[in-house]
Structure 1
Amino acid sequence: MDELLFVDSTFEKDNTSRYKLSIQLCLDGFSFSILNSNNKCLVLYQSKSLNSDTDNTSIDLLKDSIRNCDYLNLSYKQVAVIWLTQKTCLIPSDLFSEELATDCLQLCHPVSKDEVVLWHEISEMNAHLAYALPSALPVFIKTHFADAEISNQSYRFYKKIFKQAIDIKHPKIFVQVYDHFFDAFIPDIEQKHFANSFSFKNETDMVYFILNIYKQQKLNTEYSHLHLSGKIDESGQAFQTLKRYIKDIHIENVPHEIPQKKHISNSEYNQFTKLLNTSQCE
């Protein structure tokens, strides 16, 4: 499905050099938002039609789709590219090295010869986040998008959370939901953070894993706040079930001024919140 979800009347296609582009890529497709200098959303677009038998074919289709998208061939003031993957690991900064980043990631995940390992420092955690992505992508991104900044979704997720105050007495759980997995993070004032990623097949699985985090981390469902973002909305089964067990839940929605098409669910729109908030992670 390729669909232009929203275009603001003030968007000027011939004057995009003052806009910011945020694009999320994965082997299934891509989505992007375009913001003006005041971080107001001007364009939302998603593409989920990249179906192929091999990862290499998917990458070729992804590159061709980007080349053929008019909005992605314009000049922007700033370009943030987010690679969506569960192939990540955190390494203490005191121990970090390029060789260790690759070794640690290979211990945690299958990393193929066609993938490259990148990393970012997260000073708030005194750690480096390493992740894998297809080796053909960084070269293509740097060629197609001048001065683009490449990161992965977990890095953006963690950096945004650290913009908020840490609740010492009743730790907050932050969950960002994607199509088949979610990232979870609990910040801790003593640097004993909880960070993990969970694959799920359906909403029942997702609810089970979230409630199990509360249980394993010995958190009180009456007082420890659950912050949900990404592909989830209040009308869905997952939220309605979680609400029965957790007292304080908040879902991060796209701004109300963005009109939503009736045939598209709120959760489809809510997955854009991470793209609309990239400027908050810098």
Structure 2
Amino acid sequence: MTNENIDFTKSKQYTLSIRLSTDGFSFSVYNPIEECDFYFQTYPVNTQQSMAANVKAFLALAKELKYTYRQINILIHTARYTSVPLELFEDEQMETIFYQNFRKQSNEIILCNVLGKSNLVILFPIDKLTHLFLSEQFPTARFFSTISPQIEYLTSRSKLGNSYKIYANIHACSMDVFALDKGKLQLVNTYAINDVSDSMYYLLNIWKQLAYDQEHDEMHLTGDNINYRQQLSEELKPFIRQLFIINPQADFNTSHTARIEDIPFDIQSLLICE
């Protein structure tokens, strides 16, 4: 999905958001002044090459990345992240805390996102050479774990109503799950999945462990694969009455929402929270 009419001569007004994942790369260009102006492109990755080699090729091939932008966001999609309460966070302990939860890998650095709405800090890794290539081309870029803007957006969204809520964002081989109690994060995790039965297993087990109410509490689904999302929704209906599809497009306050529906949920969340 692209908008070929976007005027790149006005790129200094736009926000560029780049999303890097082992499943593939993508980027969006968004005009915050005229909210109907979106441009979105995807790029495949070569699984035989390193992340840094793929990023280097991507930066060389995508002509849209050569322009000057008002703001540049770089989102790293990874299941290797950990959350720390803001009041307990100290910069110098980032690596120590992160590697208490994950096995250390060579040639990576640990970055952090401070989430003001959620009072959390998200720690996540990025390959050193990948970080170098991106920082050289985009010196002012902000780096995010893809989980971070989702937490901030859903923290605000979950305050509506009096029910507990589970949100699931489904990717090709993984699923991000968030459980919130009126703006308070109870759980965040990313699960490897192969099919709908895997998603069912994790979601219903979380629902049971948190003792959510089958009639009153809510489950919200989103994800790039509409058919998968629909099948999962049908499978969950006998167990959960309050089942919804997330529609963040409505928060852009524009009638041109069809132009952004294919943009990954984490990028949409980041743009909404700006």
Instruction: Report if aligned partners of 2:164, 2:217 keep a CA contact under 8 Å in 1.
Output: yes
Given that 2:158 and 2:183 are in contact with CA atoms closer than 8 Å, whether structure 1 keeps it comes out as no
> In structure 2, how many angstroms separate the alpha carbons of the residues matched to 1:275 and 1:191?
22
Which secondary structure does the structure 1 equivalent of 2:163 belong to?
Answer: coil
What residue in structure 2 maps to residue 203 of structure 1? Answer: 196
> 1:263: which partner in 2?
none
Q: CA deviation at 1:159?
A: 0.8
For 1:279, which of 264, 271, 274 is the aligned residue? 271
Query: 2:272 corresponds to which letter in structure 1?
Result: Q
Corresponding residue for residue 27 of structure 2? 32
How far did 1:12 drift? Answer: 1.0
Query: Identity over the aligned pairs, expressed in percent?
Result: 19
* Alignment pair present for 1:131 and 2:124: yes
1:251 equivalent to 2:245? Answer yes
2:35 maps to 1:42: no
Structure 2 residue aligned with 1:229: 222
| SS of the residue 1:245 aligns to | coil
1:167 Cα deviation from its structure 2 partner: 5.6
What is the distance in 2 between the residues matched to 1:138 and 1:49? Answer: 17
Aligned equivalents of 2:273 and 2:248: distance in 1?
Answer: 17
Partner amino acid for 2:99? Q
How does 1:1-282 map onto structure 2 within 5 Å? Answer: 5-9=1-5, 11-36=6-31, 37-52=33-48, 57-166=50-159, 169-188=162-181, 191=184, 193-233=186-226, 236-253=230-247, 257=256, 270=262, 272-282=264-274
SS of 1:244's partner is coil
CA deviations over 1:72-107 (Å, ceiling 9, x no partner):
111211111111011111122333223432122212
Whole-Å separation in 2 of the counterparts to 1:93 and 1:275: 23
Task: Tell whether the 8 Å contact from 1:234 to 1:251 is kept in structure 2 after alignment.
Answer: no
Q: CA RMSD in A?
A: 2.6
String of CA shifts for 1:201-231, please: whole Å, max 9, x gaps: 2221012111111111000122211122222
Structure 2 unmatched runs, 5+: 250-254
Which of the two has greater helix per residue?
A: 2
| 3-state DSSP of counterpart to 2:176 | strand
Q: Secondary structure at the match of 2:237?
A: helix
> In structure 2, how many angstroms separate the alpha carbons of the residues matched to 1:14 and 1:98?
40
Q: Which runs of 5+ in 1 are unaligned?
A: 261-267
User: Quick one: distance in 2 between partners of 1:31 and 1:190?
Assistant: 30
SS at match of 2:104: coil
| Contact 1:29-1:62 within 8 A present in 2 as well | no
Shift of 1:165: 4.9
Deviations 1:82-134 (A, max 9, x none): 11011111122333223432122212222312111111222333332111111
Structure 1 CA distance, aligned partners of 2:247 and 2:161? Answer: 26
How far 1:24 moved relative to its partner? 0.7
Aligned counterpart, 2:252: none
Secondary structure at 2:222 match in 1: strand
